[in-house]
Structure 1
Amino acid sequence: MRSFDQIWAIAAKRKGGDAALAAKMPEIKTADELAATPDDRILAAMTRAVFSAGFSWQVIEHKWPGFEEAFEGFNPVRCMFLDDDDLGRLVSDTRIVRNGVKIRSVRENAAFLCALADEHGSAARAIADWPGSDFMGLLDMIKKRASRLGGTSGQYFLRFIGKDGFVLGRDVVAALVREGVVDKEPTSKAAKKAVQDAFNTWAVESGRPLAHISRVLAMSIDA
């Protein structure tokens, strides 16, 4: 595979130069900044990612104040104890997108965050301290223990809260295929390890965060 400097050069040529490309890099938080995030904001970001999957992001953004009201600020302990009557009421609540399965995921994800808080002091601390060199491990843990946060939904959730990591969208996967890292979307254990190893290599080469490497890979692909 190419060095990161070579991939950067391809992306910079497409996007109008080094400065223009650098301006497009996503913002990420330090571990301490992320750990200071209240767990209600973690649950809110989870919910936003779940409801945005397969749906118009603009609609979710427009209705988001209604989500905040309907779920009373996304306090994880409160949401963990939503009962069936509460869920039935929410399914009829016009302030939110009335998808019963996704609404139930809020209760399930609240329970997951409360379990993480019991284990690590806070869910935000657990996520913040997870090493980027095993970002795939974090994604797998969230997929197994949370609700409806497999695939890119989990990746976007982490991007929403400022965790450094990659998003394996269409263009990033295309770049990984071009570089010989994988031959298709990585779903097997071996392919996921190859992706993590490639990102780790580029991170050591460049000193850049995973999120920036991910964005540069995507921008090195012709639309």
Structure 2
Amino acid sequence: MQNLEKFSAIYQRASERKGGQEILESLLDKPLSPEAIKQIGDDRFLAEFTQKVFQSGFVWRVVRNKWPDFERVFFEFNIQKILLMPDEMLEKKATDPAIIRNYNKVKTIRENALMIEAVSQEYGSFADFVASWPTNDIIGLWAYLKKNGARLGGNTGSYGLRAIGKDTFLLSNDVVGYFTQREIISGSAQSKRSLTAIQNSFNQLQQESGRSLQEISMILSKSVGDNFIE
């Protein structure tokens, strides 16, 4: 990657912008280990994906405030109970004022439950499937969710993975801006060419630093854009 900076340069700039290494490190979160991810129930994956689907294009705070009602209305996202819901019940639940009444998004709950169940049948659990996916091809997992899930394309799937603890970078405005400015990508960040270039860049930075994709992504985002000392 000819235009990609060394990790040390990115880290130094992020540290200076945030007021020093100690402050920068305090702002970083680490992903869960594969062993920890394997302990997560399939219901929690469905819950996280659903939350991100509803947050897409909507006010995140409103979704968070209503989330306890989402959990209640949809059986704590128990996969088997969700799959047993007939269309009529799903339609009725979509009219419940306790949740956000968007039938097209409500339908994704059952559709993504079907995906999770199918994967669990093959791999033992959806958690095992996610935990074993190599991070040097995290865009491959994004693509799987987009193809086999419902409304999990764009940033929705990756944000869901990050929320559950899977090591992944995020295509935030700052991260995309960095790769565009360095001419590592051009056009849409979601194109196959751009995604591959970004994945290769993160793989290189990971080899240099020994850090997780999540940490590198957060450091990179803090090294550019408008987020100076807060």
* TM-score (ref. length: structure 1): 0.97
- 2:190 match: secondary structure: coil
Match of 2:120 in 1: 117
**Corresponding residue for 2:74?**
71
1:143-197 per-residue CA deviation (whole Å, 9 max, x = no partner) reads 0000001011111000110000011011110111233321243232222111110
Q: Which amino acid counterpart does residue 35 of structure 1 have in structure 2?
A: K
Match of 1:61 in 2: 64
Q: Which 4+ runs in 1 deviate beyond 4 A? A: none
SS at match of 2:147: helix
Structure 1 residue aligned with 2:191: 188
Q: 2:207 maps to which residue?
A: 204
For residue 69 of structure 2, give the secondary structure of its aligned residue in structure 1.
helix
Structure 1 counterpart of 2:60, which letter?
A: W
TM-score, normalising length: structure 2: 0.94
What is the rounded CA distance, in whole Å, between the counterparts of 1:177 and 1:164 in structure 2? 23
Tell whether the 8 Å contact from 1:77 to 1:111 is kept in structure 2 after alignment. no
Partner-residue secondary structure (3-state), 1:151: coil
Aligned length: 223
Structure 1 partner of 2:131: 128
Identity across matched positions, percent: 38
Which of 215, 219, 222 pairs up with 1:219?
A: 222
Pick which of 11-20 and 78-87 moved more. 78-87
| 1:84 and 2:87 aligned | yes
Contact 2:205 2:216 in 1 (8 A): yes
Gaps of 5+ in 1: none
Partner of 1:93: 96
1:37 aligns with 40
SS of residue in 1 equivalent to 2:92: helix
AA matched with 2:104: V
* Equivalent residue runs for 1:135-150 within 5 Å: 135-150=138-153
Preserved contact between residue 81 and residue 107 of structure 1 (Cα < 8 Å): no
- Name stretches of at least 5 consecutive residues in structure 2 with no aligned partner: none
- Inter-partner Cα distance in structure 2 for 1:222 and 1:109: 35
Instruction: Give the Å deviation of 1:36.
Output: 0.6
